[in-house]
Structure 1
Amino acid sequence: MYCQQCGHEAMSGEFCQNCGTRLNEIGHTKYAGFWIRLVASVIDGIIIGIPITIIAFILGIFSVFSTLESSSFDSSYSGHYYYEESVAGVDAAIIVTQLIIVVLSLVIGVLYYAGMHASKWQGTLGKIIVGIKVTDLNGQRISFLRALGRYFATILSSILYIGYIIAAFTEKKQSLHDFVAKTVVVYKR
């Protein structure tokens, strides 16, 4: 067991040998491991992926049709569109649409992950469903800025997924982004 106040390993007794905090009031902290966090992540992927996919589909269809409608028409070519201009216009519309989708996905991701981790629920819907939450090393709710840093630190964890896998081998089941943000994922009591 670890002291929630100072993080020191408390071998035995009623008080932490390092800071004197009463251990009985703190209780046992059960850290969420790799597999339960993976389940929560899959649930979140579905929850956030469905609206992004719908938005991407609608934007894609809208941009292609609006580009085709605005293509120039020349009667000297027997009623045919300028093929090259039409294709170039569709290609440009697809690129712009993809950029909009990337920016929208980033904004939605930041608001969802950082916002939910910093909220009173201390976790995304996936984490809430499986009964886990994100805290700082003292068991307290994290700020939006720390949650934002944690969100962007997941980029580091995503490199070959090593940053996620290390959660299976660390003492407090921390992923790389947890180490960077000084957070832990624990089961709700």
Structure 2
Amino acid sequence: MERKAGFWIRLGANLLDGIIIGIPLAILAYIIDGGTDQGYTDNILSFLYSLLLPVLWNGYTIGKRICGIRIRRVSDLTPPGIGTMLMRNVVAGIVYAITFGIGVIVSAFMIGLREDKRSIHDFIAGTEVVYDN
């Protein structure tokens, strides 16, 4: 049985993604739109990165790969598909927005305190984040 990834390692992977991917995406977005669209291009590129890369790269983002963790489906232990990632990112994002960010805080506590280390978006999508073998 693989070890579940907790709060700090997941936070570290997200920070790495933000630094390694976020800065180049912001520069690319600035080049594409000339800095006139108030960050919409950057948001779209970031969304596509977080949606598509785990599907194409067996549950990894660059930050998760560096930290040695990955997303997988709980039901069959396979990497997430596009539907799973849409549930994880879009539906969970809607839930977090409706709760005015309180859901994000609850999710952080869930990852830190629950034995299975699953958050709200993990439950919505049927996923978990685990360490590599």
With structure 2 as the length reference, what TM-score do the two structures score?
0.81
- The higher relative CO (CA closer than 8 Å, separation ≥ 6) is in 2
- The CA RMSD over aligned residues, in Å, is 2.0
Q: Which runs of 4+ in 1 moved over 3 A?
A: 55-58, 154-158
Aligned-partner residue type, residue 147 of structure 1: M
Q: Identify the match of residue 109 of structure 2 among 161, 165, 168.
A: 165
- Give unmatched runs, 5+ long, in structure 1: 1-27, 61-93
**Counterpart check, 1:142 vs 2:80:** yes
**Which protein is bigger by CA-based radius of gyration?**
1
**Counterpart check, 1:182 vs 2:119:** no
Deviations 1:27-51 (A, max 9, x none): x221000000000000011123212
**Counterpart check, 1:29 vs 2:16:** no
Identity of matched residues, % = 36
1:6-155 superposed matches below 5 A:
28-58=1-31, 59-60=34-35, 94=36, 97-98=37-38, 101-102=39-40, 104-137=41-74, 138-152=76-90, 153-154=92-93
Distance 2:44 2:28 in 1: 13
Distance 2:120 2:73 in 1: 14
Distance 1:45 1:132 in 2: 16
- Give unmatched runs, 5+ long, in structure 2: none
